[in-house]
Amino acid sequence: MIDLQHEARQLIAALDLTNLNDDCTPADIDALIARAATPEGAVAAICIWPRFVAQARAGLPASIRLATVVNFPAGGEDVDASVAETAQAVADGADEIDLVIAWRRVAADPGFIERQVRAVKAAAGSATLKTILETGELADPDLILSACEAALGGGTDFLKTSTGKTAVSATPEAGRILLQAIRAHGGTVGFKPSGGIKSFEDAKLYRDMATEICGEAYPTPERFRLGASGVLTDLLSVARGEGRDGAKAGY
């Protein structure tokens, strides 16, 4: 029998609790930190704008990692700017960097993506690098795979689907491509679906897929994350065995 409460707690432990709203305020960051350590266990990380990293570092428990975004959300081509943004974020206390690649360059010049990832990885130092491929905009499976291979060649620590700022975010079809690329690369790089994850069932689907493709031992918080904001409410309801109101929102 499947223990849904246990599974919900595992998903909470893999969550990058996110606020990347354009109107995010310092008070919103304090509220995010307060939500991150739940009675059912802490989330893996919070993910926020770079301008709030220093504030969050001062108030975030050491057991919860601090992630921020660079080259976000547009995915521009100025590598020097992304490197500088990364270096500042790490100096401010970021544990993890979520980089948006210049996804418009994938079709014509995947080598540019590999160089971009490698440069930001070097600037990140010991911080974890998650590479956002913007799979909903790439759309074509061959382009998504090409982006995966370029990011893996550049030394990324995670492949991440989306910014959550486009019409199409994470999809099972894109997630499968990312996971198959990770398996082909040795199965040690992490996987982060993000955007559009609105319910326990959405989150569980991706964790089950990661297990299916990369093995039972794969989806720990060190290698499997979920990028979302509103899904925590639903995960907590399932973890507590409570009724669910259906009001589920994802970033």
Please say if 198 is a catalytic residue. no
Q: Beta strand pairing status for 190-192 and 158-160?
A: parallel
Spatial neighbors of 31 by CB under 8 A, at least 6 apart, are none
Q: Which of 98, 157, 202, 234 is catalytic?
A: 98
What backbone torsions phi and psi does residue 13 show, to the nearest 5 degrees?
-70, -15
Distances 220 to 5, 73, 131, 189, 210 between C-alpha atoms, Å: 17, 27, 18, 12, 10
In 24-160, where does DSSP find H-type helix? Answer: 26-36, 53-59, 79-92, 110-124, 135-138, 141-153
Which residue type, as a one-letter code, is found at position 75?
G
Q: Which of 192, 198, 204, 248 is catalytic?
A: 192
Please say if 121 is a catalytic residue. no
What backbone torsions phi and psi does residue 132 show, to the nearest 5 degrees?
-90, 120
Q: Which of 160, 198, 204, 248 is catalytic?
A: 160
Please say if 248 is a catalytic residue. no
Q: Which positions are annotated as active-site residues? A: 98, 160, 192
